[in-house]
Amino acid sequence: MSILANKDTRVVIQGGAAGVNAARRMAEFCYLIKRPLNVEAFVYPPDAGKSNEVPYGSGLIAIPVYKTIAEATKNHPTINTSLVYIGADRAMKGGMEALDDTHIKVVTMITEGVPEKDAKILGAHARKLGKVFNGPSSIGIVSAGSCRLGVIGGAFDNLVLSKLYREGSFGVITKSGGLSNEIIWICSQFADGITTAIGIGGDAYPGTDYVSYLEMFENDPQTKAVVIVGEMGGDLEERAAEWYGAKKRRVKLMAVVSGFCQESLPKGMKFGHAGAKEGLKGEGSARSKSDALKKSGAIVPPTFGALGPAIKDVYQELLKTGQVKEPVEPAALPKLPKSIEAAMKADEVMVTPLIRTTISDDRGDEPCYDGYPASELINKGYEIPHVVGLLWDKRLISKQEAEIIKRIMMLSADHGPCVSGALGTIIAACAGIGLSQSVAAGLIMIGPRFGGAVTDAGRFFKHAVDNKMTVDEFLTYMKKNHGPVPGIGHRVKSLRNPDKRVKELVGYVKSLPIKTPCLDFALQVEQVTAAKKDNLILNVDGTMAAVLVDIGFPVDSLNGFFILSRTIGLIGHWVDQKRQGSRLIRLFDYLVNYAAPKRREVPPLK
């Protein structure tokens, strides 16, 4: 058997992330002892209506989250225990809510730093209702082979090493979370293990005292001895001694008390738990507690290290008198499934990747672009065009090429508010749409009739150059197969009203000692087309395209230059409209040619 927590314990956890973590640990224990998960619900108002996923073995269990304890117990009437993980400032309210629910008999508060007064009120309220309020600052409660509440017992390996998968004969009550595991481990190493271990909490006035648990252990026939881990401060150990000495008890009591060092340390030094403080005139000192326990007949080893052998002595005595039998270890225990990450680390599985990347990797302390750490690029003087080169063409471009790209981006960053892209963004901004969506509204305009001619222009100029076409051959080929030449022609610019940006870019590129076959070809095409009609000039798209092909960028990346640079302008337009507090746009009637039928009578419905 066990006390407080057993196979019938059904739990609601009050709290967020820490509570979910506890549920995961509890699920590991349930998996080890081959029982269904004992957590039925969470109460955490911010997440009410959602569910938390808890791994159980290799599966996942969804545990619903409720706003109140009442909702949780209404939907899960088997709940009888609450674990409180909510913050110290709200812990009392949460604890009260749990205690006041008729379904709940045990409340264990894990929260640390709960005001003393709140803990006392909770403790008193629980006593009035005949319930158990354990904690605050409790590490939890574990009953070997049947139930774990909280993270007590530690990691899965430790649960196995400490034989918590099956019942032993020793009860444990501690104030310290870390030491609870230590004692459980000692009980499994020197004896047959534990029945129940309780973290009573390290505060000065925990909700429940040693005596209430000693009574419960006394009434649990499986428990043959109880180990108390005490500390200086308060009087819980003295009360335990009083209880033990009052009459003949069935359970053996063993105890260690910490704080002897205080006798030789400077006065007033406070350490360990909040409850570890000395009272007046040696009351509550480790020595007076130890003495009281010894006097009551409890076994009090001189040091913590001597506790193991003392437990061993008690266990051997129990064996000899036939009160306990040697435990039977199960033939096999469930193994906690490894996570994929752990299994891969141990070279146990191979996983076929879902996607493949060849350009970037951010798994280290900073992203690497095509293998080069971003900060190193910065510190060695590389600039944005080099990042474009690395991510779009997987090569470290030259300073000269970077300068060309920089100029292209600057020249095409914005073309005013009237072009389709900017207009799309402005309309969206005026409608109150957010930045990314508004910019996207502008970007989706980029296509064959707006900006998106760069890729096509590059592709056809390159085709012509690669195939050594003459201008006439090229124009004939285009007319026959594709229609107008992308990159040629402008809505407002013409020979008489030239585009300065094109002139600038061509002039700069031609001033460099590089070969520009595509650009040269495009300029020859312009001569022919512009002679036919004066606005069939080489436009910005076509110029960018030819130059970028000449410096080796892949044809498929070319529209990217337009998208990238134009994004700068589109963000500007969104911010501009936002800053002005622009109102919703409605197109004026006079800007629409209403070519729809005139008003007429609606015929009767047939």
| E strand or H helix at 231 | strand 225-231
Among 259, 424, 458, 569, binds other proteins (CB under 8 A): 259
Which residues between 4 and 43 bind other proteins (CB under 8 A)?
21, 25
Rounded distance between C-alpha atoms, residue 463 and residue 102, angstroms: 82
Q: Hey, which residues does 225 pair with through a beta bridge? A: 170, 252
Stretch that binds other proteins, among 5-13, 204-212, 322-330, 490-498 (CB under 8 A): 204-212
Rounded distance between C-alpha atoms, residue 322 and residue 589, angstroms: 101
Rounded distance between C-alpha atoms, residue 231 and residue 270, angstroms: 12
Q: Hey, which residues does 142 pair with through a beta bridge? A: 148, 197
> Which amino acid, 544?
M
Q: How far is CA 508 from CA 135, 193, 322, 505, 594, in A?
A: 77, 84, 101, 5, 48
C-beta closer to other proteins: residue 82 or 258 = 258
Q: Does 202 bind other proteins (CB under 8 A)?
A: yes
Which residues between 111 and 130 bind other proteins (CB under 8 A)?
112-118, 120-121, 123-124
Q: Hey, which residues does 207 pair with through a beta bridge? A: none
Stretch that binds other proteins, among 267-275, 312-320, 452-460, 467-475 (CB under 8 A): 267-275
- Check: CB of residue 108 under 8 Å from CB of residue 134: yes
Query: For the CA atoms of 291, 293, 299, 303, what is the dihedral angle to 10 degrees?
Result: -50
Among 89, 283, 348, 534, binds other proteins (CB under 8 A): 89
Q: Does 303 bind other proteins (CB under 8 A)?
A: yes
Q: Does 185 bind other proteins (CB under 8 A)?
A: yes
Stretch that binds other proteins, among 150-158, 425-433, 495-503, 566-574 (CB under 8 A): 150-158
Stretch that binds other proteins, among 32-40, 182-190, 437-445, 566-574 (CB under 8 A): 182-190
Task: Provide the minimum distance between the beta carbon of 119 and other proteins in the complex, in angstroms, as a whole number.
Answer: 9
Give the x-and-dash track for 467-506 against other proteins (CB under 8 A): ----------------------------------------
Task: Provide the minimum distance between the beta carbon of 246 and other proteins in the complex, in angstroms, as a whole number.
Answer: 19
- Check: CB of residue 188 under 8 Å from CB of residue 162: yes
Give the x-and-dash track for 279-298 against other proteins (CB under 8 A): -------x------------
Residue 348 burial (CB count, 10 A): 10
Stretch that binds other proteins, among 200-208, 345-353, 407-415, 582-590 (CB under 8 A): 200-208
Give the number of residues in contact with other proteins, rule: CB under 8 A. Answer: 69
C-beta closer to other proteins: residue 62 or 344 = 344
Q: Hey, which residues does 132 pair with through a beta bridge? A: 106
Stretch that binds other proteins, among 32-40, 174-182, 462-470, 493-501 (CB under 8 A): 174-182
Task: Provide the minimum distance between the beta carbon of 455 and other proteins in the complex, in angstroms, as a whole number.
Answer: 50
Tokens linked to 328: 């039977």
Q: Does 234 bind other proteins (CB under 8 A)?
A: yes
C-beta closer to other proteins: residue 64 or 177 = 177
Q: Does 454 bind other proteins (CB under 8 A)?
A: no
Q: Does 304 bind other proteins (CB under 8 A)?
A: yes
Out of 273, 386, 490, 573, pick the active-site residue.
Answer: 273
Q: Please, which residues have CB within 8 angstroms of residue 530's CB and are 6 or more apart in sequence?
A: 495, 536, 537
Q: Does 325 bind other proteins (CB under 8 A)?
A: no
What is the full DSSP assignment across 555-581? GGGHHHHHHHHHHHHHHHHHHHHHHHT
Among 1, 60, 62, 155, binds other proteins (CB under 8 A): 155
Stretch that binds other proteins, among 31-39, 185-193, 416-424, 455-463 (CB under 8 A): 185-193
Tokens 């409790």 -> residue: 138
Among 49, 305, 483, 507, binds other proteins (CB under 8 A): 305
Q: Does 450 bind other proteins (CB under 8 A)?
A: no
Which residues between 373 and 432 bind other proteins (CB under 8 A)?
none
Q: Does 276 bind other proteins (CB under 8 A)?
A: yes
Task: Provide the minimum distance between the beta carbon of 264 and other proteins in the complex, in angstroms, as a whole number.
Answer: 5
Among 222, 258, 288, 577, binds other proteins (CB under 8 A): 258
Q: Hey, which residues does 53 pair with through a beta bridge? A: 62
Task: Provide the minimum distance between the beta carbon of 157 and other proteins in the complex, in angstroms, as a whole number.
Answer: 8
Burial class of residue 333, CB neighbours in 10 A (0-12, 13-18, 19+): middle
- Check: CB of residue 215 under 8 Å from CB of residue 166: no
**H helices within 431-582, ranges in order?**
435-443, 453-466, 471-481, 500-510, 517-532, 540-550, 558-580
- 156 alpha-carbon distance from chain centroid: 22
Annotation marks residue 273 as catalytic: yes
C-beta closer to other proteins: residue 139 or 429 = 139
Task: Provide the minimum distance between the beta carbon of 441 and other proteins in the complex, in angstroms, as a whole number.
Answer: 43
Q: Does 265 bind other proteins (CB under 8 A)?
A: yes
Task: Provide the minimum distance between the beta carbon of 287 and other proteins in the complex, in angstroms, as a whole number.
Answer: 11
C-beta closer to other proteins: residue 205 or 450 = 205
Q: Hey, which residues does 149 pair with through a beta bridge? A: 141
| E strand or H helix at 132 | strand 132-134
> Which amino acid, 602?
V
Rounded distance between C-alpha atoms, residue 354 and residue 20, angstroms: 29
Sheet with 170-174, side-by-side order of all strands: 147-150, 140-143, 194-199, 170-174, 225-231, 252-258
Task: Provide the minimum distance between the beta carbon of 85 and other proteins in the complex, in angstroms, as a whole number.
Answer: 13
Tokens 């990217």 -> residue: 560
3-state SS, residue 460: helix
Among 271, 339, 362, 556, binds other proteins (CB under 8 A): 271
Cα angle 289, 293, 297; round to 5? 165
Stretch that binds other proteins, among 155-163, 382-390, 460-468, 490-498 (CB under 8 A): 155-163
162-175 burial by CB neighbour count: b if 16+ within 10 A, else e? Answer: bbbbbbbbbbbbbb
Residues in the chain: 606
Q: Does 343 bind other proteins (CB under 8 A)?
A: no
Task: Provide the minimum distance between the beta carbon of 351 and other proteins in the complex, in angstroms, as a whole number.
Answer: 23
Cα angle 392, 395, 401; round to 5? 85
Q: What residues make contact with other proteins under the rule CB under 8 A?
A: 21, 25, 88-89, 112-118, 120-121, 123-124, 139, 151-155, 158, 161, 174-182, 185-186, 189, 202, 204-205, 209, 229, 231-232, 234-235, 256, 258-261, 263-274, 276-277, 286, 302-305, 308
Positions marked catalytic: 273
